[in-house]
Amino acid sequence: MKREKPSKIVIASCCIMGAGQLLSKQWIKGLLYLFIFAAYVTYMVTSGMNDIKGFFTLGTVRGDAWLGIQGDDSIMMMLRGIFAFLLTAMFVALHISNVKDAKGLAKRLEVGKELPGFLQATQIFLDKKFYIVALLLPVIGVLIFNVLPIIFMILISFTNYGGDIVPPELVDWIGLGNFEKILSLTEIKDTFFRILSWNFVWAFLATAVNYFGGLGLALLLNKKCVKHKGFWRMFPILAYAVPGFITMLAFKFMFSYGGPINYYITMSGHSAIGFLDIDAGWTARIIGIAVNAWITIPTSMLLATGILSNMNTDLYEAASIDGASKWKQFIKITLPFVVFSTTPVLITNFIGNFNNFGVFYFLRGGLYNDGYFLASDTDLLINWLYNLSIDNNYYGIGAAISLIIFIITSVFSLLVYVRSDAYKKEDTYR
């Protein structure tokens, strides 16, 4: 059978997916490509073009349930638009692979090599590009369940979605309007910077307390003089095993006016203390740090226990012979080793604490302080974001704040990580 010229094969595949393969008698592969091409074109004609158009307009017809007018759902239109763009990107990637494949076929034909059959080509592909097969499903899953919502959230921050603008009202693109509001409206700006500064203090303090608390506990329980170590280790694990929100609610009750702490305070003849009152200020903040420590120290302890078990005891012996004190040994041997091994975990903890929603939501939700816009003085950015977007429907502003949190935390973690020994001196302890 006569085969087409190599150049024609590439041109045909460029124009119509799979055409080059069909010209090369690669029937199954060609038909598969052609099917994808046809499916994409059908999708674009029937819905994709409208979805992309809708992404830009976010709807033109306002719904009216009473009159039976369904109207445009701006948010669904945005989602469908994003989906259309993602599908288009995937189609482009497949088209490129189709052209590359056609080029490969053309090359083989030029040098007179036999073209492999479909089964053989599939086997070669599965063997050489196994990573693609293995990662395809997870990547699609990540795209749909992770990337799509993130893109959606980012895009929402550029709209006026929220407040009175919720379906059936039509949402509009407003560019950087939400960011301008955060940085220009006095109340929002002041609240933002107040909460941001407390958020940093909280994240540093909570991370440090949890980290060193866990390390200290691990060191203590590692000491030879401690008997029944397993028994003692059980208690922090028990604290860890109780669901976090249950613990937080229990602490809220403990520190409330009707709780056991105030009961004993009043029994001893003193006045009850408003640990979590509106004017509690730093008392409430410190309680938050302590509650968070209660929940997270067990994890740090377990981590540190594992790392300490890998320590080379010869180092301590040598240090003792050289006259190093216990403190010196801790500073110069234990700490660098543990910090080196746990830098990525430390960063994760910091980010986790920076975005720690539960502690102050459960301990002190439902309070607004003077000088704060829809927030209290213990709220973190994530709590404020919740107040704005869930309690008060200001989704656009909420999305803008979450984008700012994302930028802050990602830049911070990247900077810290690339400057850390764990990244720079990867082989030090190998």
Partner 1 sequence: MGKLKKMAVGVLCASMLLGCVGCGDSKETAGETIVLRILENDTAKKEGYLDALLEAFNAEYKDKGIQAVDANMDEYTDLAANGPYGYGPDVIYQANDKLMTYAEDKHILPIDVESLDCYSVTPEAAWEAFKINIDGTTYTCGIPVNIQEPMLFYRLDMMPEDWESNWDKDGNKVADFFENWNDLYAYSKYLRDTDTSANGDSQYGFMSSLNNLYLNGEFLFSYGAYVFGSNDDGTLNAADIGLSAGDAAKGLMAMKQMASLMNEGCIDDTIIMKRYEKLADGSYFCVVSTPDTYSLFIEKLALAYEAEGLSAKEAEEKAKENLMMIELPGKLPADGDLTKSSDAMTEDDWIDTVVMGGVNGYGISSYTKYKDACMEFVNFATSYEMIQTRMNTLGIAPTRSDVAEASGGVTDMIFESLSEGRIYLMPSIKAVDQIWVPAQSLMGDIAKDPYREAAGELGKYVTIGQLEEAIEKVDQDIYDAIFTLKD
Amino acid identity for residue 425 in this structure = K
Which residue lies nearer to partner 1 by CB, 64 or 317?
Answer: 64
Which residue lies nearer to partner 1 by CB, 148 or 185?
Answer: 185
Q: How far apart are the first and last CA of the chain?
A: 61
| Cα gap 252→246, rounded to integer Å | 10
- Closest separation between CB of residue 356 and partner 1, Å? 21
Q: Are 358 and 245 in contact (CB under 8 A)?
A: yes
| Cα gap 205→225, rounded to integer Å | 31
Nearest to 17 by CA among 100, 83, 87: 100
Q: Are 40 and 98 in contact (CB under 8 A)?
A: no
- Element holding 247 (H helix, E strand): helix 244-255
Residues that bind partner 1 (CB under 8 A): 63-66, 73, 123, 126-127, 130, 133-134, 136-137, 160, 162-164, 166-169, 181, 185, 187-188, 256-258, 262, 266-267, 271-272, 274, 276-279, 366-370, 373-374, 391-392, 394, 397
- Closest separation between CB of residue 74 and partner 1, Å? 12
| Cα gap 95→328, rounded to integer Å | 63
Which residue lies nearer to partner 1 by CB, 184 or 309?
Answer: 184
Which residue lies nearer to partner 1 by CB, 140 or 237?
Answer: 140
- Closest separation between CB of residue 189 and partner 1, Å? 11
- Closest separation between CB of residue 46 and partner 1, Å? 20
Which residue lies nearer to partner 1 by CB, 111 or 267?
Answer: 267
- Closest separation between CB of residue 135 and partner 1, Å? 10
Residue labelled with tokens 């009961």:
263
Q: Are 403 and 157 in contact (CB under 8 A)?
A: yes
- Closest separation between CB of residue 367 and partner 1, Å? 5
| Cα gap 369→375, rounded to integer Å | 6
CA distances (Å), origin 151, targets 48, 185, 305, 371: 18, 26, 40, 33
Can you list the alpha helix ranges (DSSP code H) found in 309-392?
313-321, 326-329, 335-354, 358-364, 381-386
Which residue lies nearer to partner 1 by CB, 111 or 119?
Answer: 119
- Closest separation between CB of residue 78 and partner 1, Å? 15
